[in-house]
Amino acid sequence: MKQSITHGSLTNTIKLALPSLSVNEGIARSVISSFCICLGPTATDIADIKCAVSEAVTNCIVHAYKNSVGMIYITAEAFSDSVIKITIRDKGCGIADVKQARQPLFTTDAQNERSGLGFTVMESFMDRLSVRSVIGKGTTVIMHKKIGDAVG
C-alpha cells in the first residue's frame, strides 16, 4: 500500500470526466480552480494550479489521444491540512519513457510548437508530481500542493 504524503483527512472531493477536446482545457481549469477556493488559496496558488492542470489536460489531448478522442478523468481532493491532490488519468497511448518525457524541453511534437515544458511546469508549480504510465493502457498524473503557505 502506497504511503500517503498528506496527514490530513479528506474534507471534499470532486470527479470530472471530459472528452479530450481542446475546448475542455479551459473548463478543466475553471472547475478545478473553483474547487480549490474551499481551501483558502492565495492568488498565486490558484494561478499555479490552473497552469499545472492545463498542462496535464493538454498532454492528454495532444499526446495521449493524439489521433482520436478519449476520456480524461480528473479527481480533486481537499485535505484538512490544506493540501490539494489532483489526479488526471487517461486511457491513451501511454508514455514509453517517463523519465525522458519529464526532461525539460523534451517533446515528441516540436512541429506544432510544443515547448516540451509541460511536466517541468507541473513539477515547479506543484509541490509533488508523480507520473505513471503503461504503453497502450494510459497515463496517470498525480499532483499535490499545500495551499495558502504564503499566508503562514
Partner 1 sequence: MLKNTDCIIEKTQGKTLTVILNGELDHHNAAKFRTKIDSLIQSKKPMTLVLDLAHIDFMDSSGLGLIMGRYQNVQGYGGKLIVRNPSEAILKICRLSGIGRFVKIETKQ
Cite the active site residues.
Answer: 55, 59, 114
Write out the binding residues for partner 1, residues 23-82 only, by CB under 8 A: 23, 25-26, 29, 44, 47-48, 50-51, 54-55, 58, 61-62
Residue 54 or 82: which CB sits closer to partner 1?
54
Closest approach of partner 1 to the CB of residue 51, in Å: 5
Q: Does 12 bind partner 1 (CB under 8 A)?
A: no
- Pick from 34, 49, 121: nearest CA to 85: 49
Binding footprint of partner 1, residue count (CB under 8 A) = 24
What does the alpha-carbon distance between residue 30 and residue 71 come to, in Å, rounded to a whole number? 18
Residue 28 or 142: which CB sits closer to partner 1?
28
- Pick from 112, 119, 121, 120: nearest CA to 141: 119
Quick count: other Cβ atoms within 10 Å of Cβ 67? 5
The helix (run of H) or strand (run of E) holding residue 49 is: helix 43-59
Answer whether 65's CB lies under 8 Å from 20's CB: yes
Footprint of partner 1 (CB under 8 A): 22-23, 25-26, 29, 44, 47-48, 50-51, 54-55, 58, 61-62, 112-115, 117-118, 120-121, 124
